[in-house]
Amino acid sequence: MTKSPLRVTVWSENIHERVSARVAAVYPDGMHEAIRAGLVEQLGDAVAVRTATLDQPDHGLTDAVLADTDVLTWWGHVGHDQVPDELVDRIQARVLDGMGLIVLHSGHLSKIFGRLMGTACSLVWREADDREVVWVVDPAHPIAAGLPPAFVIPEHEMYGEHFAIPQPDNLVFISSFSGGEVFRSGCCFHRGKGRIFYFSPGHESFPVYFQPEVRHVLANAVLWAHNPAPARVIPGTVHAQTGWFEASGLLGAVAPNQLDEDG
């Protein structure tokens, strides 16, 4: 029996690519297509990857699509305000219920990231031609698996501290820039049953999502963010009268472990 593929939805606002010749030259099929192709290149049949964009009906994220998504990746910038609050509500609910979320680059100011973090998520930036060095600072973390101690993005936008996020549950990468700044470029968070990873590389005018190391990180991140069998939890706020535990049936059977059935 073969494991069913992990269902990934790659969402992007797809605006820069359509209005900027410079960006279109880097990403002629859109950034979402480059991210999708990278995941398929790295993970093959282990994933089923669809793309969704802001200009589609329901912004590509109907209830059915979200229900059929194990991990959602998010790239947004100038279109943040065009994402309706009701969609943010629905994505947040899915994350709390166990859907993985990977927020990329300028998605630090997206509505969904701000909602889930509860802080300003602001940072210092400079669009020049800095060299970025992405350093692995948690070599035991699954998202760092297989990477060298550091890798270079030859030209990239600078994102620097202070990055106004909550303290990450795990910090996987720190970047340094030729201008001298540093930045927490790979951060893990848990919200409800959901796992969230923020990864800062991915400015639209540089071919970052074609770079092998970046594709490797995103593939690892998708695997990490997938929560295959969220634990059952006691629903809502419960007034626990004496004896409720014995009567609750909470001590049910455990689900099978998520072993590789091919191996």
Contact 158, 128 (CB under 8 A): yes
| Among 13, 17, 132, 157, interactor with Zn ion by CB under 5 A | 157
Least spacing, CB of residue 40 vs Zn ion, in Å: 25
Contact 117, 189 (CB under 8 A): yes
Selected range binding Zn ion among 64-72, 152-160, 171-179, 215-223, rule: CB under 5 A? 152-160
Least spacing, CB of residue 159 vs Zn ion, in Å: 8
Least spacing, CB of residue 117 vs Zn ion, in Å: 19
Selected range binding Zn ion among 130-138, 177-185, 195-203, 240-248, rule: CB under 5 A? 195-203
Least spacing, CB of residue 153 vs Zn ion, in Å: 12
Contact 75, 12 (CB under 8 A): yes
Verify binding: residue 13, Zn ion, rule CB under 5 A.
no
Nearest to Zn ion of 25, 229 (CB atom):
25
| Phi-psi label, residue 110: left if phi above 0, alpha if psi -120 to 50, beta otherwise | beta
> Which residues does residue 12 pair with via DSSP β-bridges, in sequence order?
53, 75
Contact 67, 189 (CB under 8 A): no
Selected range binding Zn ion among 27-35, 155-163, 177-185, 227-235, rule: CB under 5 A? 155-163
Least spacing, CB of residue 105 vs Zn ion, in Å: 6
Q: For residue 188, how many other CB atoms are within 10 A of its CB? A: 20
Nearest to Zn ion of 17, 157 (CB atom):
157
**Residue count, binding to Zn ion (CB under 5 A):** 3
Site for Zn ion in 87-116 (CB under 5 A): 106
Secondary-structure percent of the chain, ordered helix, strand, coil, rounded to 5: 35, 25, 40
Nearest to Zn ion of 144, 217 (CB atom):
217
Nearest to Zn ion of 209, 224 (CB atom):
209
- CA distances from residue 168 to 80, 113, 120, 199, 229 in whole angstroms, order as listed: 23, 13, 14, 12, 23
DSSP-derived secondary structure letter, 196: E
The strand pair at 194-199 and 100-104 is best described as: parallel
Least spacing, CB of residue 106 vs Zn ion, in Å: 5
Token pair of 201 as six digits: 């590389």
What residue is closest to Zn ion based on CB? Answer: 203
Q: For residue 135, how many other CB atoms are within 10 A of its CB? A: 15
Q: Is 178 helix (H, G, I), strand (E, B) or coil?
A: coil
| Among 59, 203, 216, 226, interactor with Zn ion by CB under 5 A | 203
Least spacing, CB of residue 157 vs Zn ion, in Å: 4
Which residues are near Zn ion by CB under 5 A? 106, 157, 203
